Amino acid sequence: MRSLNKVIIALLLFAACKSNNKKTLPIYGSRQAVTKTVNGQQVTDTVYQTIPDFTFVNQYGDSTGTKNLKKDIYVADFFFTSCPSICPVMQRNMLNVYTAFKDTADVKILSFTIDPRHDTVPVLKKYADKLGVTGNSWWFLLGDKDKVYDMAAKNFLVAVSQDSTAAGGYIHQGYFVLVDKQKRVRGAYDGTDMKQVNQLIDDIKTLKAEPATN
Amino acid sequence: MKFRVIIGICGILAIVFIISCQDEQSIDFKRYYGEGSQVYQTHCQNCHGSKGEGLASLIPPLTHVADLKKGKTSLPCIVQFGLQGKITVAGKQFEGNMPPSDLTPIEVAQVVIYVSNSFGNQHGFMSEDEVDKALGSCR
């Protein structure tokens, strides 16, 4: 009887370890099968949707974008500094992500402004300072409005729109979007929900541990 | 003997009155406080936080409402009409723009009672009349 117990415990432990190690994050967006010829052999590969190249300006006035993110996992969100509705909740929660990874070289946060007319570089810098954000692990990015809105909808799969009837003049969803080093979307989390943001922090760790294939 | 009984009865009546008055106010307080907590969640919490903690140096905390002066910067006035420019809270300066609210006077009274008796504040009761009066001297 005692040995049977031992066997059961061993099995349970084994099962627990296995399920913990196996976790991988899904890959979002459309995908295509592409057949190409490698060394005279036909190879079919899956090509995933990726975030297109962009070059915007950050809160320090530096021109930056995908070319500086080649080795980074990043979390993206869309906001504006004068936002009276969900932004403060989102940024309060994003501060937790920032605190968790600010000393981790290959994890970044990108907050794209959807109000480029008001949110100039000095406005973004002041906002970052007031939030207590320093260094280069969290960028507040100012870019061409059409390009930002287009990317939000098509690539980050977040709805953003201008609406004079909404508080602050804009409507946007409070998603935090997780992007891997291959520029693929790997998760979307409700930035107003602390539980989901904690899940995001866990998932970033999972993604960091993922072997660099492809 | 009769005299003593009358005094005794009067005394008991007086005690009953005092207790019932106090109870009415504490019932009002609880009612306002409960309603105020709902108003807070709907209209204030996004920016000021579930614990009134504010947000870094962007949004002031609500933990020191005793600092708020009379008149334009009294709590009822700020809740109703918002606030522009600079304000110093707990020794820290904040600058920005709090939008005005479309709350009714009773909702302002409720949320003022909630805030001024939460997050470490203990200011007790403020009746709807008192809030009305404060709102009248905002400008």
Write out the two tokens for A123: 């406005």
Query: What's the confidence (pLDDT) of residue B15?
Result: 76
Q: Do B55 and A129 touch (CB under 8 A)?
A: no
Identity of residue A142 = L
Distance from CA of A89 to the nearest CA of B (A): 5
Strands A185-190 and A175-179: antiparallel
A130 → closest Cβ in B49, B56, B97:
B56
Q: What percentage of chain B exceeds 90 in pLDDT?
A: 45
Residue A90's closest chain B neighbor by CA? B46
**What residues pair up with B89 in beta bridges, in sequence order?**
B92
pLDDT in tens, A140-160: 999 999 999 999 988 887 777
**Where residue B125 falls among pLDDT bands split at 50, 70, 90?**
confident
Q: Do B55 and A82 touch (CB under 8 A)?
A: no
Q: Most B CBs within 10 Å: which of A83, A86, A92, as the mutation test of the B interface?
A: A92
Query: What's the confidence (pLDDT) of residue A92?
Result: 92
Q: Do B49 and A92 touch (CB under 8 A)?
A: yes
Query: What's the confidence (pLDDT) of residue A13?
Result: 59
Residue A92's closest chain B neighbor by CA? B55
Query: What's the confidence (pLDDT) of residue A174?
Result: 85
Q: Is residue A18's pLDDT more than 60?
A: no
ipTM of the complex: 0.72
pLDDT in tens, B31-90: 999 999 999 999 999 899 999 999 999 999 999 887 776 666 789 999 999 998 898 888
Which residues contact residue A190 at a Cβ distance below 8 angstroms, ignoring those fewer than 6 apart?
A: A174, A175, A176, A196
CA distance A28 to B13: 74
Kindly report the average pLDDT of chain B as a whole number: 87
Q: Enter the pTM of the model.
A: 0.79
Write out the two tokens for B115: 């805030």
In the DSSP assignment, the letter for residue A103 is T
Write out the two tokens for B129: 């009349």
Q: Is residue B19's pLDDT more than 80?
A: no
**CA B86 distance to own-chain centroid:** 22
Q: What percentage of chain A exceeds 90 in pLDDT?
A: 59
Report chain A's C-alpha Rg in angstroms: 20
Is A66 or A36 the better-scoring residue by pLDDT? Answer: A66
Q: Is residue B23's pLDDT more than 90?
A: no
Which residues contact residue A209 at a Cβ distance below 8 angstroms, ignoring those fewer than 6 apart?
A: none
Is A202 or A87 the better-scoring residue by pLDDT? Answer: A202
User: Stretch A13-22: mean pLDDT, rounded?
Assistant: 55
Q: Do A88 and B97 touch (CB under 8 A)?
A: no
Q: Do A88 and B57 touch (CB under 8 A)?
A: no
**Where residue A199 falls among pLDDT bands split at 50, 70, 90?**
very high
What ranges in chain A are assigned the alpha helix state H?
2-21, 87-101, 121-131, 145-154, 194-209
Query: What's the confidence (pLDDT) of residue B113?
Result: 92
User: Stretch A81-105: mean pLDDT, rounded?
Assistant: 90
pLDDT in tens, A46-83: 888 899 999 999 999 999 999 999 999 999 999 999 88
Q: Which of A170, A188, A168 is nearest to A178 (CA)?
A: A188
A132 → closest Cβ in B46, B57, B99:
B57
**CA B41 distance to own-chain centroid:** 15
